[in-house]
A = this chain, B = another copy of it.
Amino acid sequence: MRIVVDGMGGDNAPKSNIEGVVNAIKEYNVDIIITGDKDLLEKELSNYDFDKSKLEIVHTTEVIENEDKPVKAIRSKKDSSMVVGLRLVKEGKAQAFISAGNTGAVLAGGVFVVGRIKGIDRPCLCPALPNVKRGMTIIADGGANADCKPINLVQFAGMSNIYASKVLQINNPKVALANIGIEEGKGNDLVKKSYEELKNLDLNFIGNIEARDVINAHTDIIVCDGFTGNILLKSTEGVAMSVMKLIKETLLSSTKGKLGAMLIKDDLKKLKGYMDYSEYGGAPLLGVNGGVIKAHGSSDSKAIKNAINQGIKFVKGNVVKEIEEFLEKNQPGDK
């Protein structure tokens, strides 16, 4: 098994990427390829002592920036650390690709360079949201597909169910449909039709879930179109951060509050870290012919190391093969 890491993607690249790679090699004894500017990467690597036989550098001359238009960047920057990394997966020289770079470009590159699994209409991005039980809830799709048909939601459910079982090792994951009411028959056309299909799938479908309960850990997976998934993710992020800010402001407005704030500072900090979904590693793009994992843009070395570990589990869990088997059983061509 080989994992390829985009050495130039992310706000803290290449420093955090290199440190994450070195720590992953030490901890998981994994073979890694890193793509990027050779001089830059070697200079950074010289700070570390590790088994150099486990790492290969593939030199690239271009970088896809966050400001780049995703599809255009994938098509025009052929020698970027991202496109070259994805191509290594396509060619079977590596089994999973990790990048903390431009999200849209990772999605576009996953589809155009690595390619979709035969029978998959739309791959989906599956980020995880922290929940009140200090666990994670997977959002499928978390933003790759703004417009969806019922067949897409059915495939998102099947793929994320496999990911949750095989990579996150959740036993018989609960799958719920994001909706505006819990009763069957609620919602817009898309969710009403999807509900009918989801209840016939061979997985643990528990019905609808309302947005207010997303954070309450009632389910392991939330299935939705990517527009709704993005609204859910960003609304949760925005409200959590704003409430923490409001608490700080409220406390600092009174003497008693200031005293209290001093006492609870460490607890609040711990809580803030826990609510920050960037700490939860990467989001896989499911439905392409290999592992493609998008790490958060602000990933530190720990987040990169965690994403590499996700990649290892993705490969060991045979996720691509499992998805192919799901498709065979559920004949998406008929729908």
Report A's interface with B, CB cutoff 8 A.
Answer: 132, 143, 146-147, 178, 180, 187-189, 191, 210-216, 225-228, 230-247, 250-251, 253-254, 256-257, 259-264, 266-268, 270-271, 275
Contacts and interface: CB of A to CB of B under 8 A. Distances in A.
A191 B216 CA distance: 30
A263 B211 CA distance: 33
Nearest to A178: B231
A214 to B, nearest CB: 6
A243 B215 CA distance: 9
Given A143-B180, A263-B260, A235 B231 contact: yes
Contacts of A256: 263-264, 266-267
Contact of A234 (B211, B234, B247, B271): B211
A242 B271 contact: no
Contacts of A227: 180, 187-188, 191, 228
Name the residue among A210, A239, A247 with the largest chain B CB count within 10 angstroms.
Answer: A239
27 contacts: A132-B246, A143-B180, A146-B189, A178-B231, A180-B230, A180-B234, A187-B227, A188-B227, A210-B238, A211-B232, A212-B234, A212-B235, A212-B238, A215-B239, A216-B242, A231-B231, A231-B232, A232-B235, A240-B243, A243-B244, A246-B275, A250-B270, A251-B267, A256-B267, A259-B263, A260-B260, A260-B267
Contacts of A211: 230-235, 238
A208 B138 CA distance: 26
A239 B227 CA distance: 19
A132 B230 contact: no
A238 B234 CA distance: 14
Nearest to A227: B188
A267 B271 contact: no
A294 to B, nearest CB: 15
Contacts of A210: 234, 238
Nearest to A264: B260
B245 A271 contact: no
